[in-house]
């Protein structure tokens, strides 16, 4: 199978053949031997050309979150077997929905529809676990919609603000 | 003292219950509606519901907690830290109800717990303080006036506060108004009191604190210092004892200053005096915490004493079982605060179900935890889930042991600060002991953004995990769960 894997802003082409945990893997043209053994509880032992990695694996809507002793990385996967040249998935053109990263309560709204937000600007202040957290714009854009009101309790993943 | 009510939750409630058990004292837990499954409820001899999830309606309800104390026949209440631990009105209500409050007298809490009056006592005791307003400031006009007098940069601090809540750094006059609004709002939410005061920010400060303990017979000792400069957004995350920055002379001087203040205030029970120490090793008294501290285990580990048991013994009128000259710092201890926060997403809170939990063991490792596998960390309370402590013969050994323990500590289902600790513990400036309170937010954060990340390994792992999943769903008979059902279940678990 061929995957297009996007991780930490990088997109890698991963071609894997084999079965039962033992695979030949081509990563961006380089070939390695990889052995994935799931050891229970969401953990796995991964040997890449004999180098041992103890990792945690958590399914996400787009792929997996991979946990290391000193880092964790979200990997977005696309099946690129049929279309080997498939471009990595992009956000719907123009619109960007800012989602609540955790459950919590909306303390303050800092923008209104029509406001031109700059990259890094705080849009909403959310309270969770007794701390106020500023939810920021990842890129510049005009605020099209504010989907919450002050005092409202929201679940993780609830849309907060839509940027154009 | 036959039975103690623990007016707290989470890891500190568990810590207090452990001390009581070892002393043969019965325990009464209180809990909010969302905390029925919490570990402290399961570990205590008795547990009683005190109200709905918000702290204000449960763990801060003085009347309900005293009702439970009376109904259960508890002789004493241990408040832990946070919640009612520095609430003089609560301590007084306990005194009035004939229940021993395990901590200082209510008037001492009022005097030393309120930061502005604590500073006045410090000045009277000859203890140096950071320049600032001694009183809470009334409004923006007064804040502007006082800021002009004290000079920038300065700090806005909650008068009733602690733990980094209601605290704002203000670099210039232009930032004053926004900082005041945020500090007030956080202070109100956290402490029910929105008063703030101003203080000059010391450049390149170290945060060093002295643990003290005094009995009701006039004896007082200090249990040396804790180095607490490794802070993120003014919240301590790694503490150690001894401090790599403190010389024997400074240790003796700070200990003497702390005891002078303890005597001046007529302080009884355990307490901590927080100091800023500048680059010239001049200490400035910041505030006193009239309670146990989160980082108390590092002191326990290097001195071999049990501070919670000593608190209980002092509260029942015993004399301190040692003198100052009996106390020693032996070896080196480090604590990492394991928070339910996502270090790779700006430390946003990460409540949710703990799917897998593997706790480190082996020589010299202590885990003061309040969670278990399958437990759901609620969104309503502080994100601290555990304190991991490592001991070594010296600082180098303690760091090596802590790195080993952090790598053994596995938590899946929620994000925690564990991976972040591994990166801090190996940073050259941390290893060298060369840091100040800005280290994590500035020098470390800049280096951390540039770190090499295991992107290829992660991509291979995710791809192969997907392949394994497809192989398994192919093998499954058609009558069983539809393909992808396992994954859907895993997703639901993960997202909950």
pLDDT at A89: 47
Cα B31 from Cα B55, distance rounded (Å): 10
Evaluate whether residue A90 is within a structural domain: no
Domain assignment of residue A87, yes or no: no
Of A145-159, B23-37, B393-407, which gets the smallest average pLDDT?
A145-159
Domain that holds residue A28: 2-79
The string of pLDDT tens digits covering residues B49-60 is 999 999 999 999
Q: Which residues of A touch B165 (CB under 8 A)?
A: 130-131
Instruction: Give yes or no: residues A119 and A75 share one domain.
Output: no
Predicted local distance difference test score (pLDDT) of residue B476: 64
Size of interface A-B (CB pairs under 8 A): 185
Contact between residue B451 and residue B423 where contact means Cβ atoms under 8 Å apart: yes
Is pLDDT of A49 > 90? yes
The string of pLDDT tens digits covering residues A118-135 is 988 899 999 988 888 889
| Selected residue of B183, B184, B413, B461 to mutate for chain A interface (largest A Cβ count, 10 A) | B461
* Residue A86 covered by a domain: no
What are the E-state strand segments in A41-152?
43-48, 51-59, 63-67, 72-79, 96-99, 104-109, 116-117, 122-128, 131-136, 141-146
Q: Which chain A residues touch B349 with a CB distance below 8 Å?
A: 102, 104, 128-129, 131, 133
Q: Which residues contact B468 (CB under 8 A, 6 or more apart)?
A: A21, A36, A38
Q: What is this structure's pTM?
A: 0.85
Residue A88 lies in a domain: no
- CB contact under 8 Å between B495 and A156, yes or no, is yes
Q: Are residues A100 and A69 in the same domain?
A: no
* pLDDT-based confidence at residue B162 (cuts at 50, 70, 90): low
A1 touches A13 (CB < 8 A): no
- In this complex, do B457 and A157 lie within 8 Å of one another by their Cβ atoms? no
Tell me the mean pLDDT in the region B349-368.
96
CB neighbour burial string for A126-162, b if at least 16 within 10 angstroms, e if fewer? bbbbbbbbbbbbeeebebbebbbeeeeebebebebbb
Mutate to test the interface with A, among B421, B453, B462 (most CBs of A within 10 A): B462
Residues of A in contact with B426 (CB under 8 A): 70
pLDDT in tens, B374-412: 999 999 999 999 999 999 999 999 999 999 999 999 999
Query: Does residue A35 form part of some domain?
Result: yes
Does the pLDDT of residue A107 top 60, yes or no? yes
Q: How many residues does chain B have?
A: 496
Residue B13, burial from CB neighbour count under 10 angstroms (0-12, 13-18, 19+): buried
The predicted pLDDT at position B479 comes to: 46
Pairwise pLDDT comparison (B428 vs A141), residue with the higher score = B428
Show contacts of A108-113: CB within 8 Å, 24+ apart. Answer: A108/A150, A108/B185, A109/A146, A109/A148, A109/A149, A109/A150, A111/A143, A111/A146, A111/A161, A112/A143, A112/A146, A113/A143, A113/A144, A113/A145, A113/A146
A11, A69: one domain: yes
Distance, CA of A57 to CA of A35 (rounded, Å): 15
A101: nearest Cα among B341, B445, B298: B341
Same domain membership, residue A101 and residue A74: no
d(Cα B348, Cα B184) in Å, to the nearest integer? 21
Which pLDDT value is given to residue B46? 98
- Asked if the Cβ–Cβ distance from A72 to B355 is below 8 Å, we say no
pLDDT > 90 fraction of chain B, expressed in percent and rounded: 80
Q: β-strands B3-6, B76-78: how paired?
A: parallel
Q: Are residues A55 and A118 in the same domain?
A: no
- Mean pLDDT is highest, among A55-69, A78-92, B251-265, B461-475, for B251-265
**Residue A85 within any structural domain of the chain:** no
Region B260-268 average pLDDT = 97
Q: Based on the domain organization, do A66 and A103 belong to the same domain?
A: no
- pLDDT tens readout for residues B211-220: 999 999 999 9
Q: How far is A59 from chain B (nearest CA, A)?
A: 6
Mean predicted lDDT score pLDDT of chain B = 93
Question: Is residue B291 flagged as an active site residue?
Answer: yes
Measured in degrees and rounded to the nearest 5, phi and psi for residue A81 equal -65, -45
Q: What is the CATH number of domain B131-200?
A: 3.30.1490.20
Which pLDDT value is given to residue B403? 98
Q: Kindly determine whether residue B494 and residue A60, on different chains, have CB atoms separated by under 8 Å.
A: yes
Residues A66 and A101 in one domain: no
Range B363-366, long-range pairs (CB < 8 A, 24+ positions): B363/B401, B364/B390, B364/B391, B364/B392, B364/B398, B364/B401, B365/B389, B365/B390, B365/B391, B365/B401, B365/B405, B366/B297, B366/B301, B366/B390, B366/B391
Cβ <8 Å between A66 and B345: no
| Residues A19 and A59 reside in one and the same domain | yes
pLDDT at B370 over 90: yes
Question: Region B294-306: what's the mean pLDDT?
Answer: 98
Q: Check CB contact under 8 Å for B466 and A60.
A: no
ipTM, two decimals, is 0.81
Band the pLDDT of B489: cuts 50, 70, 90.
Answer: low
Q: How far apart are CA B167 and CA A98, in angstroms?
A: 27
Which of A18, A63, A66 is most worth mutating to test chain B (most B CB atoms within 10 A of its CB)?
A66
Residues of A in contact with B413 (CB under 8 A): 42, 58
pLDDT on residue B133: 83
User: Is residue B64 pLDDT above 90, yes or no?
Assistant: yes
Inter-chain touch B466–A101, beta carbons under 8 Å: no
CATH topology of domain B206-449: D-amino Acid Aminotransferase; Chain A, domain 1 (3.30.470)
Domain boundary among A47, A79, A111: A79
pLDDT of residue B364: 98
User: Do the Cβ atoms of A161 and A145 come closer than 8 Å?
Assistant: yes
Give me the CATH number covering residue A35: 3.30.700.30
Does residue A84 form part of some domain?
no
In the set B119, B291, B337, B401, the catalytic residue is B291
Map residue B212 onto helix, strand or coil.
Answer: strand
Whether A91 maps to a domain, the answer reads no
**pLDDT for the residue A61:** 86
Of A10, A14, A72, the CB nearest to B460: A14
Band of residue A99 on the pLDDT scale cut at 50, 70, 90? confident
Is B492 exposed, middle or buried, given 0-12, 13-18 or 19+ CB atoms closer than 10 A? exposed
Whether residue A101 is found in the same domain as residue A159: yes
Query: Looking at residues A70-79, what average pLDDT do you find?
Result: 94
Q: Would you place residue B201 in the very low, low, confident or very high pLDDT band (cuts 50, 70, 90)?
A: confident
> A105 with A144, same domain?
yes
B86 contacts: CB under 8 Å, gap ≥ 6: B109, B113, B160, B162, B289, B290, B291
How sure is the predictor about B163, in pLDDT bands with cuts at 50, 70 and 90? low
Where do the domains of chain B lie?
3-102, 131-200, 206-449, 455-495
The answer, yes or no, to whether the previous bond of B263 is cis (omega within 30 of 0) is no
Residue A46 and residue A109 share a domain? no
Percent of residues, chain A, with pLDDT higher than 70: 93
Q: How many domains does chain A have?
A: 2
Question: Is-cis flag, bond preceding B239, omega within 30?
Answer: no
pLDDT at position B483, please? 44
Q: What is the pLDDT of residue A120?
A: 85
CATH architecture of B3-102: 3-Layer(aba) Sandwich (3.40)
pLDDT of residue B480: 44
């Amino acid at each position: 199978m061929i995957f297009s894997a996007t991780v930490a802003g990088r997109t890698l082409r991963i071609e894997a053949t084999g079965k039962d945990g033992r695979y030949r893997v081509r990563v961006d043209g380089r070939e390695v031997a990889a052995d994935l053994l799931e050891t229970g509880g969401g953990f796995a032992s991964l040997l890449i050309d004999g180098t041992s990695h103890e990792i945690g694996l958590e399914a996400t809507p787009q792929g997996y979150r991979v946990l290391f002793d000193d880092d964790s990385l979200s990997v977005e996967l696309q099946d690129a077997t049929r279309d080997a040249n498939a471009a990595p998935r992009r956000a719907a053109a123009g619109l960007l929905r800012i989602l609540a990263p955790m459950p919590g309560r909306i303390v303050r709204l800092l923008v209104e529809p029509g406001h031109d937000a700059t990259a890094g600007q705080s849009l909403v202040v959310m309270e969770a676990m007794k701390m106020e957290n500023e939810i920021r714009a990842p890129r510049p854009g005009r605020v099209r919609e504010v989907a919450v009101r002050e005092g409202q309790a929201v679940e993780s993943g609830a849309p907060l603000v839509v940027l154009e | 003292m036959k039975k103690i009510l623990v007016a707290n939750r989470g890891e500190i409630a568990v810590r207090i219950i452990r001390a009581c058990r070892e002393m043969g004292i019965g325990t009464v837990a209180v809990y909010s509606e969302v905390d029925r499954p919490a570990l402290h409820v399961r570990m205590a001899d008795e547990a009683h519901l005190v109200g709905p999830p918000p702290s204000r309606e449960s763990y801060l309800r003085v009347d309900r907690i005293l009702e439970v104390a009376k109904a259960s026949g508890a002789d004493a209440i241990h408040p832990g830290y946070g919640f009612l631990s520095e609430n003089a009105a609560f301590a007084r209500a306990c005194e009035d109800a004939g229940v021993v409050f395990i901590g200082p007298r209510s008037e001492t809490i009022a005097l030393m717990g309120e930061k502005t009056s604590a500073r006045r006592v410090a000045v009277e005791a000859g203890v140096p303080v950071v320049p600032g307003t001694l009183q809470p400031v009334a409004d923006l006009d007064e804040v502007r006036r006082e800021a002009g007098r004290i000079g920038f940069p300065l700090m806005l601090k909650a008068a009733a506060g602690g733990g980094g809540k209601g605290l704002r750094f203000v670099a210039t006059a232009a930032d004053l108004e926004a900082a005041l609004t945020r500090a007030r709002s956080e202070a109100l939410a956290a402490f029910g009191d929105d008063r703030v005061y101003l203080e000059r920010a010391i450049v390149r400060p170290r945060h060093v604190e002295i643990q003290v303990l005094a009995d009701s017979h006039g004896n007082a000792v200090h249990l040396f210092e804790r180095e607490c400069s490794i802070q993120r957004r003014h919240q301590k995350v790694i503490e150690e004892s001894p401090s790599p920055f403190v010389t024997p002379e400074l240790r003796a001087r700070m200990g003497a200053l702390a005891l002078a203040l303890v005597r001046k205030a007529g302080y009884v029970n355990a307490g901590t005096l927080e100091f800023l120490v500048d680059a010239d090793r001049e200490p400035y008294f910041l505030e006193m915490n009239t309670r146990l501290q989160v980082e108390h285990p590092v002191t326990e580990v290097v001195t071999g004493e049990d501070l919670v048991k000593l608190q209980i013994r002092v509260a029942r009128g015993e004399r301190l079982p040692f003198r100052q000259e009996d106390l020693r710092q032996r070896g080196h201890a480090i604590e990492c605060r394991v928070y339910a926060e996502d270090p790779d997403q700006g430390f946003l809170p990460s409540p949710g179900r703990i799917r897998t939990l593997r706790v480190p063991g082996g020589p010299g490792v202590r885990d003061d935890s309040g969670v278990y596998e399958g437990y759901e960390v609620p969104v309503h309370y502080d994100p601290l889930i555990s304190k991991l402590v490592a001991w070594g013969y010296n600082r180098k050994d303690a760091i090596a042991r802590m790195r080993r323990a952090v790598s053994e500590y596995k938590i899946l289902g929620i994000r925690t600060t564990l991976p972040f600790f591994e990166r801090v513990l190996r940073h050259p400036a941390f290893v060298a002991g060369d840091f100040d309170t800005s280290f994590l937010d500035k020098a470390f954060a800049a280096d951390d953004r540039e770190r090499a990340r295991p992107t290829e390994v992660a991509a291979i792992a995710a791809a192969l995990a997907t392949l394994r999943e497809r192989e398994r769903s192919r093998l499954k008979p058609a009558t069983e769960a539809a393909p992808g059902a396992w994954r859907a279940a895993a997703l639901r678990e993960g997202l909950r």
